[in-house]
Amino acid sequence: MRNKTIIAISTILSIGAFFILPVYDDFYYLSSPHKMMDVESFLPNGSFWRPIDALWGIMMGKYVDAFPFLNHLLVLICFAYSSFGLIKILNYSNVKGYTKSIAIAIFMLSPALVATTYSIDSINQALCLAFGISSLLLYKQHKILSYVFITLSLFSKESGIAWFAVTPLLSLVLEKCHNNKDIINKKDYTSLIKPYCISIVIILIYACIRIYLNAPSDIIENGYSRYTPQLGLNCITSLCMIVGSAISVIDTIALFIEHNYIIVFTTVLISVIFIFIIIKNTVKKENLRIFIPLVLSIIAITSPHLIMEHPGEMHVYPSLWIIALSIGILTKEANWGKRELALIALTFLCGIFVFIHKGYYIYKNGRIANERVSSAVSQSKNILIKYVFLTATTKYLFIPFSKQTEGIVGIQEKVLVSILI
């Protein structure tokens, strides 16, 4: 499969995101339209501090009719940039031929992408990776600017903190690959001391600011137990889930929702064969010294999600990118057999069908939610018109809504309803 074909297929699959309508918490996140937003929205709130989301929500409040189109557009622009960054870094690392195509396809055709590219509230995830990749591209020549982009990644989503560890280490690996020196010695590792000290200082400053600005406990939202730190065996389970989702094409919709075990068995079998081929070509003695820092990079980028009680598929996104890059680097000298290439092509073909299946399921949910919303909005309008007719005192009314109706209008907590009398 040629690179242009992979990009074309990925583009077609991505366009499907524009047909996805908002459901459930898509209406409550900071990146949804907000007519008004107080200072607390820009302050740390429990596990969260995402001022970029808050800025986006204010902008969307001025262009409500463009929701969720602009959200989808920004996510896909970030995805396109991340794909461009992957290709650029693979070229820089002297990864060519089938290996380069395989690495690109692992990222751009993965069914795990659906949870991010088809999600309305994944702006933070998409920006976090895009800023992180920018820091990696700039690190060699513009270190200060690189740290600025890492900080932007952190303010996009808390997991961006991992780039303080990943960027210096990956940059070292990429330089070695660029110079065709796949051996990292002790001297190379000691060169990381200075950048890591700078990273620690920035993180400490960030932590102090968070502690100082943390929102009052009474406004911290409940219901986010999945973000409560969980250590021990849970970390190992989460790591296996995230890495497994990144390098497999298992249809989780068929497994957990539709219980179509024929599809599950087929996708599991194909995934096992694919993983076996990849491991066979990556885990080699001559790759050991470059293998270790790449694995450490994968663990580092995944680590913020390992302490979660239940990481979801959308959390696979940054790990998927680095796994694709790592596989490309580790297999750049591989001699792929015709049978292996055929099985890999079959895996990607299966992945495309799983991608479509997941996307269609999300699309159906959106259509059902839209019908319910349309019905509820019609009823809400009748109630509001009657209320305004009876009071006939003001043009603007503060109307408190329930959680369900709150989502209908698309503004949090209390909605400022503008009624022309």
Is the pLDDT at 184 greater than 50? The verdict is: yes
- Determine the pLDDT at residue 338: 95
Burial of 207 (0-12, 13-18, 19+ CB in 10 A): exposed
CA gap 355, 313 in Å, rounded: 13
Name residue 416's beta-bridge partners.
398
Positive or negative, the CA dihedral 352, 357, 358, 359 is positive
Helix, strand or coil, per DSSP, at residue 416 = strand
- Determine the pLDDT at residue 231: 64
- Determine the pLDDT at residue 135: 98
Mean pLDDT of the chain: 86
The mean per-residue pLDDT over the stretch 197-219 comes to 84
In the structure, what pLDDT confidence band is assigned to residue 285 with cuts at 50, 70 and 90?
confident
The mean per-residue pLDDT over the stretch 148-164 comes to 97
In the structure, what pLDDT confidence band is assigned to residue 240 with cuts at 50, 70 and 90?
very high
Q: Look up residue 186 and give its two tokens.
A: 């002790």
CA gap 29, 48 in Å, rounded: 11
Helix, strand or coil, per DSSP, at residue 258 = helix
Q: Look up residue 149 and give its two tokens.
A: 């982009």
pTM of the model: 0.87
- Determine the pLDDT at residue 234: 80
The mean per-residue pLDDT over the stretch 19-26 comes to 87
Helix, strand or coil, per DSSP, at residue 287 = helix
pLDDT > 90 fraction of the chain, expressed in percent and rounded: 68
- Determine the pLDDT at residue 14: 96
Residue that has been written with the tokens 């591989």 in this structure: 334
- Residues 6 or more apart from 129 whose CB is under 8 A from it? 78, 82, 153, 317, 318, 321
Q: What is the number of other CB atoms lying within 10 angstroms of the CB of residue 260? A: 14
- Determine the pLDDT at residue 2: 87
Cα–Cα distances in Å, from 283 out to 59, 329, 344? 48, 12, 18
